[in-house]
A = this chain, B = another copy of it.
């Protein structure tokens, strides 16, 4: 047995750190219409070219007034102002009707709501006073010219698109899509579209489909699935080579174990690949292996779906986020009270599927302890993961733990 075959089980953070130091993926940016930019990674920082609002605007339907002039106005003591039209000379003894969103002409500083005034042909009786800038959206109150709307690396959300539009920005520069190639391996694994390949002993490919379906929501990625490859080194080398040529990153599922059928590892050595981490100190997902070929990372995920999902969520996506400096990919961690004791294993991070639900005045997390990383149905029954760090033995019932919603 070759030394290179031995696991070293790097901790997750160390594997990510080594990846960040070794990987070389260069992506350019391109200009795109803001309506096409949702979910893409912004490749420039965007500052507001204008104040928002650009001028003082009315926040209601009503009458623009000088607040000092109407300071004593009340129902019993209406202040009478001359009603002017736009284009006529305005002064504090007059008023002009304004609708919501309309600029406030000088010298007015505030707006009396329609229902607090009585309109006559040439005059308006103001029945209520208004403070200075009352009912006015002030110039720059939402954004000031030069304010940062979105930083480089931001994964664009609906409100970014809306803000770009509101300040008149029609195009932004986004990062080219990151190309991900996905390869399933295993002679016993059958793609659901190729059922004629079913042998006596087979399983359908569900793991690479889980990876594919999990990544497809990210608009900044471009996915290519290379189907299922048999456990023959030449075939794996061939597909891996093609996938590396066509993508920035390759993910394989299956073939990570120490068994003689686990040839993906061999294929990588064959292509002069460098192993960054043979195994990761995590459970499930211990055989997860990370390699590098000509600057491009290859993630060897377990053939087991849950192990693979954990590696995707807690290694692959955090790596992507850090490497490309993205903002907005991380989810907030949530505290919840454990409903029963859980134990992990010293030396590796243990990921436990939990079902988070409201219990009285807090959230509870019910661990779903199912044997084996192959238990795909556990993802149906749970809505979060909790982590027992590798230096912690476990958590007691009633303790607060931090969970990641899925």
Q: A residues bordering B, Cβ < 8 Å? A: 34-35, 38-39, 52-53, 59, 61, 99-103, 114, 137, 141-143, 147, 149-150, 157-163, 165-168, 170, 188, 192-193, 195, 201, 203-207, 209-210, 212-214, 216-217, 257-259, 261, 303, 305, 309, 332-335, 356, 358, 361-363, 371-372, 374-377, 379-380, 383, 400, 405
Contacts and interface: CB of A to CB of B under 8 A. Distances in A.
29 contacts: A35-B213, A38-B216, A101-B188, A101-B203, A101-B303, A102-B188, A102-B201, A103-B201, A137-B371, A141-B372, A142-B374, A142-B375, A142-B376, A147-B377, A149-B377, A159-B210, A159-B309, A163-B380, A165-B192, A165-B205, A165-B206, A165-B209, A166-B305, A166-B376, A168-B192, A332-B334, A332-B363, A332-B383, A335-B361
Contacts of A377: 52, 142-143, 147, 149, 163
Stoichiometry (number of copies):
2
Nearest to A103: B201
A210 B61 contact: no
Contacts of A99: 259, 261
Contacts of A259: 61, 99-100
B103 A158 contact: no
A262 to B, nearest CB: 9
Contacts of A309: 158-159
B142 A204 contact: no
A165 B35 contact: no
Contacts of A188: 101-102
A375 B213 CA distance: 36
A183 B216 CA distance: 29
A161 B52 contact: no
Contacts of A59: 372, 374
Contact of A100 (B101, B201, B210, B257): B257
Contacts of A209: 34-35, 161-162, 165
A206 B332 contact: no
A204 B159 contact: no
Contact of A400 (B166, B203, B204, B361): B361
Nearest to A147: B377
B380 A149 contact: yes
A139 to B, nearest CB: 13
A376 B166 CA distance: 9
B161 A213 contact: yes
B213 A158 contact: yes
A214 B333 contact: no
Contacts of A161: 209-210, 213
Nearest to A400: B361
B201 A61 contact: no
Nearest to A148: B380
